[in-house]
Amino acid sequence: MTTISPQAEKKLRHYFRHLNRFMLLMWRLGLARFINIWPEVGGRIMVIQHIGRKTGLVRRTPVNYAAVDGEIYCTAGFGSISHWYRNMLANPQVEIWLPNGRFHAHAQDITDDPNALPLLRQVLINSGFAAPAVGVYPKTMSDEELAAVTANYRLIRFTPQQPATGHADLRWVWPTLIGVLLGFMWFKRRYAKD
């Protein structure tokens, strides 16, 4: 069983913050299915849209998830200090963006549920490289080892309620980019002959 030092955890939090910005951009560009194409490596990724508990502003956080029996589960791997986790405690009505659509959902911390460990294990398996990056090996660890190394993790269950409207708000980039490229090719071809 391995644990990481506080300095390494700080570096990982910084790295994941940048990775999350990239993942969110991919979602906004309409590439959700693409980033979920190889879950064994990149993990299964969804976006949680939640309300900031202090600011009241809309926030979006990409997380790894597992779908089990019609419910969606994720974990706050850095524990209860995660801002998105605390935002959901303050306002559990969220919107989740899955590769197959967006849904309004109710979020609930079920960390203390007696059946939480197998669900947490599945979320960690679905995280691709992320769990091993922090020294958690969900496929090979015993229940006791996994419980010990994830003692500070929080497990959240999302109960989807109804579909949400909306789409990738930056999807317009693709037709614009294609139009610009086609225009450039036409211009180059037309004036290259002269």
Contacts of 10 (CB under 8 A, 6+ apart): none
Q: What is the pLDDT along the chain (194 residues), one digit of tens a residue?
A: 445 677 766 776 667 777 778 888 887 788 877 877 777 888 899 999 999 999 999 999 999 999 999 999 999 988 888 999 999 999 999 999 998 889 999 999 999 999 999 999 999 999 998 899 888 999 999 999 999 999 999 999 999 999 888 766 776 666 677 777 787 777 777 777 65
Domain-embedded: residue 104: yes
Domain-embedded: residue 174: no
Domain-embedded: residue 156: yes
- Domain with residue 38: its CATH number is 2.30.110.10
Contact 128, 88 (CB under 8 A): no
Task: Give the range of the structural domain holding residue 149, as residue numbers without chain letter.
Answer: 6-168
* Among candidate residues 63, 65, 59, the one with its CA nearest the CA of residue 20: 63
Q: Rounded to 5 degrees, what are φ and ψ at 15?
A: -60, -50
Domain-embedded: residue 190: no
Contact 93, 103 (CB under 8 A): no
Helix (H, G, I), strand (E, B) or coil at 156: strand
Note if the pTM is more than 0.85: no
**pLDDT at residue number 1:** 43
Domain-embedded: residue 128: yes
Domain-embedded: residue 18: yes
Domain-embedded: residue 1: no
Domain-embedded: residue 176: no
**pLDDT at residue number 155:** 97
Total domains in the fold of the chain = 1
